[in-house]
A and B are shown apart, each in its own frame.
Chain A
Amino acid sequence: MAERLLRRLVPGREGEIIAGDLREEFAARGGGRIWYWGEVLSCVAVRLSPHRLTAPDLRQDLHYAVRVLRRNPGYALTAMVCLALGIGVNSTVFSMVNELFWQPLPLPHSGRLAIVGRESDGMACSYRDYLEFRQRASAPAGRLFSGLVAYDDMRVAIDSGGMSHIVGADAVTANFADVLEMPAQLGRWFMPEDDRLGSDPVAVIGDGTWARLFGRSPDVIGQRVRIGTERYRVIGVAPPGFVGMSPPHLVEIWMPLASQPDVRDLLANPGEWERPLVQMIGRLADGQGTREAEAGMRALDARIRRDFPRDNAPAGAITVAVATGASRPDVRAVAAPMAALLLSVTAVVLLIACVNVANLILSRAAVRRHEMAVRRALGAGPWRLVRQTLAEGLVLGAGGAALGLAVGYWSGRLLARSLPGFPHGGMLALRLDPDWRVAAFAAAAGLASALLFTLAPAMDAARINGGGSRRMRQRDVYVVAQVALSLVLLIAATLLVRALEHALEVDPGFAMAGRLEARLSISEPEYTADTGRLFLDRVLAAVQAMPNVQSATISHNTPLSITDATCAAPDTNTRPRRTGSDIVAAGYFDTIGIPILRGRAFEARDRQGAPQVVVVNETLARRYWPAKEPIGQSVWLGCDTKAPRTVAQVVGVARDAKYASLDEPPQPFVYRPLAQDWVGFMTLIVHTPGRPEQFTAPLRAALAGLDPDLRVYEIETLEECASGSLFRVRWQAALLAVFGGLAMVLAAVGLYGVVAYTVAQQTRELGIRMAIGAQRGDLLWMVLGRGLRLTALGIAMGLLLSAAATRLLGGLLYGMSPLDPVSFAAASLAWTAVAMLASYVPARRAMQVDPVVALRWE
């Protein structure tokens, strides 16, 4: 039995020899089964060692593969370009995922920087807890962190050139730059005296802000800029590339934490232990891992809670994790499903590219049948031939991966620049820079695809007398699979594009055409509620007096962009329910075109001191007073059941509209009059019969004329607001359209290849047919029909696949069915047209076959 094992594992003459040696020695020793087994196993071990398996011939294989490919540059280039496109889009998407989840901060020794916080509270903890942690965690005995920073993410308005820009900002403790080991590009970072009550407000600006608002002028140091309500002195510029602790969420301004008004107020109250909430980032002390630090911090947390007991429920446990990618849990939560969708889409594109290359190799195999037969005749075993094909695949894969990295780099650049913007002025910035992870990913993708596309042809090459017809069938299967897969992507892209159109066609319930909005900040300390209302009256009067203005009004919300909410209840016993709300001026309903169905809109008599009134929408009226007359009913406003709530009387019912997004179901909504309520942030809405875009500049000038210091944010048309609210679906539609188009091109190339190959193979047959009287048209149809039959089969399978796959897009379709027949039909028709084209080119060649030449062929 051992002998049989030996013969099986060590084939050929060599096995014979070894078996003979062993038999001879076995006889000389006079037995010894265990010895015999040991010897056999030694042979087997040596045979199976990887060194023995690969090393001696692999170099030879690769060398030969390179030579073969160099002799056929067209073939090699086509295959590599196909792969490069597939690997390129994959590495672009992967670099996005990498950036969101794994890339470390662009800081020295970033592997030692850890985000610290309570995961249950969005990785935050209270500022007073932070102060205790900082003191205790850096105590010389049992030092956990060499430095611990607290920071608070916020959005602030920075004023420049008559406009206010909303940017991300971090309020940070003074040790921020020391702990992160980050010198300023210009000027300096904070010192302890900057982070004290009553100190002169100072700020450090980011590289982007420095370039955009100050033209990289070094004079920016020492300048005063208005950030929020205070004038800050700029003391430094952060190094380029640093955009805060949770990239790609952009932070462009840093300010000392303790000088923030809300922090100041809360610190004045020594009993306040829960607010303000801050996030923490720390540099791990030498010898501390995240796990030890986490255990240490939890022990400290328990001790702090014992030393300073508080009445509310225990907080979540502290976690410590190395800071990589977007450390904000909310950004991760949004990004994860998007990343999964995109990665699976690009994987399909790569799969199609692989199938293309497999097809190429198969058609080459047909040409090389002769060579393979010769090599086999000379004694090459099947495994040797398989290995040769694999080696060629590896070389192609390596070339494809290298080219793919380049493609990925450029497409990443293009993508970062051309993707539809995120709402609210670029709060996110993807850099899409490749790093070693992206390179490793591309290499892995190249290797995996090399295995994938060579395996089938290699098996085929190894088979003795690989029958021509069988190979044809295999190629057909590939084409059908390609058509099916790319059709799925195409249908998904069409669905999203149609969903976009569909969403834009949804009746928002208010008029958008010709309306322009400008967001104004009318807050303290410049304005109080009373002076603010007076100022807004002046604004309305001035704007209405401008030429080309039909009407103008004020609301707190910006439709489909920024919406407020409160709680409402029909009486004191009912639990208050969350309700959309807005504060609007008297002419609001006329200007925005929302009809009042019952009762009246707000009028001049609804002033302060007069009875509190509200206008509700149909949904709210139906929900609270299903069978009763809503006019005259009372609404209790306010979410806190303990605090005194406002009671107001319903004076009108407005038609339902879309408030926050175009795909929302009907929402209950309550309008309050501007005269009886106040928020220091308002939207001016202007209705002009002309083109609203052209009204932007005069409007800005008019506002500056009324108050040169007025903070004005984006000025946009309502249509732009609506389209901005669709950014997520727009984003994915854009990407899917690109990937779907790419997949279709790759699959079309595959189809073309197969049909062209058939024509080349059938030249003789075509010649005979022509010689015995077939018309050119018949031949055209014969070839075309073949391509179309394959396409039809692929489309049928693709439709079935799509029906299953498009369900995953559910949330992005704005109420459209995932089986939308128009999208399915349009994508299938598009594919049919492309298939016609891809088979027409080789079919024309078939028509031009000269029967005499064809018959002499071979």
Chain B
Amino acid sequence: MSDHYLGEFEQVVLLAVLRLGDDAYGVPIRREIEKRCARKVTVGALYSTLDRLEAKEYLSSWFADPTAERGGRSRRYFRLEPAGGEALARAKSMFERMWKGVRLA
């Protein structure tokens, strides 16, 4: 096992970035999570998690050109790095192993 494993919200964020592919920046990531998980996400919590995941090199980010609809500000796009994919796979298989043969009454 790796010494780093993912927190629940970290998994959610990584999966959202994975799902969105090339369109993964702040606003859609938040929308994706709010839509699929039916839970509120604040922008502060989201960015602190994104920063942490980038520090662990599970994600990388780059800045796009500024757009007018954002008041002349650029977007920060995120992309899943191989290490992030591995971490997600590890988390998934861990859960699968734990669920194997378990039935909730």
Q: Which residues of A contact B (CB under 8 A)?
A: 13-14, 16-25, 27-28, 38-39, 41-47, 52, 56
Contact B75 A52 (CB under 8 A): no
Q: For A19, give the chain B residue with the smallest CB separation.
A: B73
Find A21's partner among B26, B51, B55 (CB 8 Å cutoff). B26
Asked whether, in the complex, the Cβ of A16 is within 8 Å of the Cβ of B27, the reply is no
Q: B71 to A17, Cβ gap below 8 A?
A: no
Contacts of A13 in B (CB 8 A): 63, 76
Cα–Cα distance between A350 and B43 once the two chains are bound (Å)? 47
Q: In the complex the two chains form, what is the Cα distance from A821 to B51 in whole Å?
A: 68
Q: What chain B residues lie within 8 Å of A43 (beta carbons)?
A: 42-44, 47
Closest 9 CB pairs of A and B: A20-B73, A42-B42, A42-B44, A43-B44, A21-B26, A46-B44, A20-B70, A17-B76, A46-B48
One digit per residue, 1 when the CB lies within 8 angstroms of any chain A CB and 0 when it does not, for chain B 71-102 equals 10111100000000000000000000000000
Question: Does B22 interact with chain A (Cβ within 8 Å)?
Answer: no
Closest A residue to B49 by beta carbon equals A46
**What are 28 A-B interface contacts by the 8 Å CB criterion?**
A16-B73, A17-B26, A17-B47, A17-B63, A17-B73, A17-B76, A18-B43, A19-B73, A20-B26, A20-B70, A21-B25, A21-B26, A21-B75, A23-B70, A23-B71, A24-B70, A25-B30, A38-B42, A39-B42, A39-B44, A41-B44, A42-B44, A42-B45, A43-B42, A45-B44, A46-B42, A46-B44, A47-B44
**Across the A-B interface, how many residue pairs have beta carbons closer than 8 Å?**
66
Further 14 A-B residue pairs, CB within 8 A, beyond A25-B30, A38-B42: A16-B73, A18-B47, A19-B71, A20-B70, A23-B70, A23-B73, A24-B70, A25-B27, A28-B27, A39-B43, A42-B44, A43-B43, A46-B44, A46-B45
For A47, the chain B residues whose CB sits under 8 A away are 44
Determine the chain B residues whose CB is within 8 A of the CB of A38 once the complex forms.
42
Name B39-76 residues within 8 Å CB distance of A: 42-45, 47-48, 51, 55, 63, 69-71, 73-76
Is A20 within 8 A of B48, CB to CB? no
Check B27 against A24 for contact (C-beta < 8 Å): yes
A27 to B48, CA, bound (A): 23
Find out whether the CB atom of A42 lies under 8 angstroms from the CB atom of B63.
no
Chain A proximity of B99: nearest CB distance (Å)? 31
CB distance A17 to B44 under 8 Å? no
Is chain A's binding surface mostly helix, strand, loop or mixed?
helix
Chain A residues contacting B75 (CB-CB under 8 Å) are: 17, 20-21
Question: Do B73 and A42 have beta carbons less than 8 Å apart?
Answer: no
CB-nearest residue of chain A to B43: A39
* Residues of the B chain whose Cβ atoms lie less than 8 Å from the Cβ of A16: 73-74
Q: What is the minimal beta-carbon distance from A202 to any residue of chain B, in angstroms?
A: 68
B40 to chain A, nearest CB (A): 10
Range for the number of chain B residues in contact with chain A: 20 to 34
Contact B69–A27 (Cβ < 8 Å): yes
| Distance to closest chain B CB from A664 (angstroms) | 73
Q: How far is the CA of A154 from the CA of B55 in the complex (A)?
A: 72
- Per the bound structure, the CA–CA distance linking A28 and B45 in Å amounts to 21
B54 CB, nearest partner CB in chain A, Å: 11
Point out the residues of chain B lying under 8 angstroms from A28, CB to CB. Answer: 27
Interface centre among B27, B45, B74 (most CB of A within 10 A): B27
Task: Give the residues in chain A near B27, CB-CB below 8 Å.
Answer: 21, 24-25, 28
Q: Which of A17, A25, A44 is B74 in contact with, Cβ under 8 Å?
A: A17
A45 to B42, CA, bound (A): 11
**Distance, CA A47 to CA B27, complexed state (A):** 19
- The answer for the CA separation of A46 and B44 in the assembled complex, in Å, is 6
Residues in B with CB closer than 8 Å to A42 are 42-45
What is the chain B residue whose CB lies nearest that of A16? Answer: B73
Query: Which of A19, A20, A44, A56 sits near B55, CB closer than 8 Å?
Result: A56
Residues of B with C-beta under 8 A to A21: 25-27, 30, 43, 70, 75
Which partner residue on chain B sits nearest A15 by CB separation? Answer: B73
- Min CB distance A641 to B, Å, is 84
What is the distance, in angstroms, from B62's C-beta to the closest C-beta of chain A?
Answer: 11
Q: For the complex, what is the distance from the CA of A39 to the CA of B47, rounded to whole Å?
A: 11
A27 CB to closest chain B CB, in angstroms? 6
Report B6-48 CB contacts with A as 1/0, cut-off 8 Å: 0000000000000000000111001000000000001111011
Most chain A CB within 10 A, of B43, B45, B47, B75, is at B43
Most chain B beta-carbon contacts within 10 A, residue among A20, A27, A56: A20
**Closest residue of chain B to A36, judged by CB?**
B43
CA distance A27 to B71 in the complex (A): 11
Closest CB in chain B relative to A28 CB, distance in Å: 8
Chain B: minimal CB distance from A138 (Å): 56
Q: Across the interface, do B26 and A18 meet the contact criterion of CB distance under 8 Å? A: yes
CB of A48 to closest CB in B, whole Å:
10
Complex partner residue of B71 from A20, A41, A46, CB under 8 angstroms:
A20
Residues of A within 8 A of B51 (CB): 14
- Kindly name the residue among A19, A42, A52, A56 whose own CB sees the greatest number of chain B CB atoms within 10 A: A42
- Output the least CB separation between A104 and chain B (Å): 44
**Cα A507 to Cα B70 with chains together (Å):** 94
Kindly provide the distance from the CB of A169 to the nearest chain B CB, expressed in whole angstroms. Answer: 65
- Taken together as a complex, chains A and B put the C-alpha atoms of A43 and B75 apart, in Å, by 17
Q: Which residue of B lies closest to A38 (CB)?
A: B42
**What is the CA–CA distance of A22 and B25 in the complex, to the nearest angstrom?**
12
On chain B, the residues within 8 Å of A19 by CB distance are 71, 73
Closest-CB distance, B44 to chain A (whole angstroms): 4
Q: Report B23 CB to chain A, min CB distance, Å.
A: 13
Q: Are A22 and B43 in contact (CB under 8 A)?
A: yes
Write out the residue numbers on chain B whose beta carbons fall within 8 Å of the beta carbon of A52: 48
Closest to B75 in A: A20
Minimal Cβ-Cβ distance residue in A for B76 = A17
- Which of B25, B26, B55, B70 gathers most chain A CB within 10 Å? B70
Specify the chain B residue showing the minimal Cβ separation from A39.
Answer: B43
Using Cβ atoms and an 8 Å threshold, which residues of chain A touch B42? 38-39, 42-43, 46
Docked pose: A14 CA to B26 CA in angstroms:
11
User: In angstroms, how far is the closest chain A Cβ from the Cβ of B10?
Assistant: 15
CB distance from B43 to the nearest CB of A (A): 5
| Cβ distance B29 to chain A, nearest Cβ, rounded Å | 9
Q: Tell me the nearest residue of chain B to A20, going by C-beta.
A: B73
| Residues of chain B with a CB closer than 8 A to A46's CB | 42, 44-45, 47-48
Residue of A nearest to B66 (CB): A20
A725 to B47, CA, bound (A): 74
CB distance from B75 to the nearest CB of A (A): 7
Please report the C-alpha to C-alpha distance between residue A32 and residue B45 in the assembled complex, in whole angstroms. Answer: 20
CA gap between A24 and B30 in the complex, in Å? 12
How far is it, in angstroms, between the C-alpha of A13 and the C-alpha of B61 when the chains are bound? 12
Interchain CA distance A638-B51 in the complex, whole Å: 90
Least Cβ distance of A1 to chain B in Å?
A: 15
Q: How far is the CA of A52 from the CA of B44 in the complex (A)?
A: 12
Complex-state Cα separation, A21 to B69, whole angstroms: 10
Would you give the shortest CB distance from B4 to chain A, in whole angstroms? 14
Q: How far is B43's CA from A16's CA once the two chains are assembled, in angstroms?
A: 13
Rounded to whole angstroms, the CA-CA distance of A17 and B55 in the bound complex is 18
Chain A residues with CB under 8 Å of B55's CB are 56
A43's nearest neighbour on chain B, judged by CB, is: B44
Assembled-state Cα–Cα distance A13/B63 (Å): 10
Closest to A22 in B: B43
Q: Kindly state the separation between the CA atoms of A38 and B71 in the bound complex, as whole angstroms.
A: 20
A22, B69: Cα distance in complex, Å: 11
**B44 & A20 in contact (Cβ 8 Å cutoff):** no
Write the nearest CB–CB distance from A421 to chain B, whole angstroms.
Answer: 61
Q: How far is the CA of A52 from the CA of B49 in the complex (A)?
A: 11
List, in ascending order, chain B residues with CB within 8 A of A14's CB.
Answer: 47, 51
Chain B: minimal CB distance from A566 (Å):
83
- CB nearest neighbor in B for A51: B48
